[in-house]
Structures are given as C-alpha cells and as structure tokens.
C-alpha cells in the first residue's frame, strides 16, 4: 500500500505542478482553455496558484498527513469546478480533465487508505 500511496501522490503532484507552471508563466494552452470556457485571463495567476498549492500540499502530506489529505480534496474540488466550467459552455472535450480528475481522486483514495 505504501508504494501505491507514494507513487500516486507524487504523480498527482507532478501533474498539477506542470499545470500550475503553464498557468503561472502565461502559456498559450491555458489561455485557450480560459477563452473556450469564457473566463477572464486575469484568473490565470489565481488558478495557477491553486494548482501549485495543491501540488506542494500533496508533497507536504508525506510529513503532515492532514495537509496531504486536505490538498488532495482541494484538488478534487478544483477539478469538479473545472468540469462545471466545461459543461457551462457545452464543451465535451474532457479527456485532459478526466486524466487530472482520476489522478487527484486516486490521490485522495490512497491518502485516506494509507492514513485512515
């Protein structure tokens, strides 16, 4: 169980850190996503910060388990809201979203299983 916990948590942290970096550096992909969802570009730093905090929180969870659990739950909520944003504009391009969502849900599951 420990190997799954470490693997899934690190994977989720890496995925969300990469996504955070793209938002924080102003990459074209998140700009296109915001345009598609009809959201302002001024949200990019805030969204990138949320992702970065979640990513760091997952890693801090190795030392402080409660923070890891809270970070993983926070990331699930982030991606639930991202789904709402997709559906609000009628977007059905959800493969990327699905990869992130499954990964952060798995992080919640392994965190709870390992520490619960």
| DSSP character at residue 19 | H
Report the alpha-carbon distance of residue 90 to residue 56 in Å, rounded. Answer: 32
pLDDT tens digits along 68-112: 999 999 999 999 999 999 999 999 989 999 999 999 999 999 999
Q: For residue 72, give the nearest of 89, 59, 84 by alpha carbon.
A: 59
Q: Which two tokens stand for residue 1?
A: 């169980």
pLDDT tens digits along 6-42: 999 999 999 999 999 999 999 999 999 999 999 999 9
Greatest CA separation for the chain: 42
């Amino acid at each position: 169980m420990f190997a799954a916990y470490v693997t899934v948590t690190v994977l989720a942290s890496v995925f969300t850190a990469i996504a955070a970096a793209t938002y924080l550096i102003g990459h074209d992909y998140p700009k296109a996503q915001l345009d598609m969802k009809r959201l302002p570009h001024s949200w990019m730093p805030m969204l990138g910060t949320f992702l970065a905090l979640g990513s760091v929180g997952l890693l801090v969870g190795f030392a402080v388990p409660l923070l890891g659990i809270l970070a993983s739950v926070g990331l699930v909520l982030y991606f639930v809201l991202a789904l709402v944003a997709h559906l609000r504009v009628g977007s059905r391009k959800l493969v990327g979203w699905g990869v992130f969502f499954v990964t952060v849900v798995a992080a919640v599951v392994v965190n709870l299983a390992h520490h619960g």
